[in-house]
Amino acid sequence: MSRIFGKVAQNGYVVKDIKAAMDHWINVLGVGPWFYVEKVPTDYFRHRGVDSGMQFSAALANSGDLQIELIQQLNDEPSMYKEFLDAGNEGLQHVAYWVTNYDEVYNNALAAGLKVGHEGQIGGPQGRFSYFDTELHPGCVVELSDISGQKGKYFEMIKAASVNWDGKDPIRKVG
């Protein structure tokens, strides 16, 4: 998939208890600091082409160059996160690729036969994201994320905070 998307930038874990998950990553794995948003404000969210009122919490931290995302869905609205949990899973749900040419890569993915499972937007058009379904090949979901705007700067700040992190202030609430 690197021919279409580039390099993996993030591993995304869907969890039932985001605070317990952050605690594990901090105290067992030494990863942090975590930037935690209790309720992520989306501009829109669609699951399989239909608007959904899905709400979620998210926490982000870096382990070296790789960003780790923890996601806890807060309601029962349709999403690929809910499908993942309903199937009895918890843990790694997606790998994310970050791009600044979102439309081009999105269209190339569709042309390659990939289908969007869910998609949305956070903070305007440069905050778009889409998750491609795994129906063509079972396995991890692929996320495409536009980082050409503020999201890209936010991700850079998170990575910088992880360099030489001393373990202090492990959870930083955002918003």
**Where do the domains of the chain lie, and which CATH numbers do they carry?**
8-164 (3.10.180.10)
Per residue in 99-108, pLDDT (tens digit) is 999 999 999 9
SS (H, E, C) the chain: CHHHHCCEEEEEEECCCHHHHHHHHHHCCCCCCEEEECCCCCCEEEECCEECCCCEEEEEEEECCEEEEEEEECCCCCCHHHHHHHCCCCEEEEEEEEECCHHHHHHHHHHCCCCEEEEEECCCHHHEEEEECCCCCCCCEEEEEECCCHHHHHHHHHHHHHCCCCCCCCEEECC
Q: How far apart, in whole angstroms, are the C-alpha atoms of residue 37 and residue 71?
A: 10
Percentage, residues of the chain above pLDDT 70: 97
pLDDT category of residue 3 using cuts at 50, 70 and 90: confident
pLDDT category of residue 163 using cuts at 50, 70 and 90: very high
Q: Which residue has the tokens 């990553």?
A: 25
Give the residue among 106, 74, 102, 93 at the shortest CA–CA distance from 11. 93
Mean pLDDT of 145-171: 97
Check pLDDT > 90 for residue 2: no
Q: Are 69 and 117 in contact (CB under 8 A)?
A: no
Q: What is the pLDDT of residue 136?
A: 62
Give the residue among 96, 112, 93 at the shortest CA–CA distance from 3. 112
- How many Cβ atoms are within 10 Å of 74's Cβ, its own excluded? 13
Per residue in 68-109, pLDDT (tens digit) is 999 999 999 999 999 999 999 999 999 999 999 999 999 999
Q: What is the pLDDT of residue 159?
A: 98
Q: What is the pLDDT of residue 4?
A: 84
Mean pLDDT of 3-11: 92
Check pLDDT > 80 for residue 19: yes
Per residue in 117-140, pLDDT (tens digit) is 999 999 999 999 999 987 666 678
Q: What is the pLDDT of residue 46?
A: 98
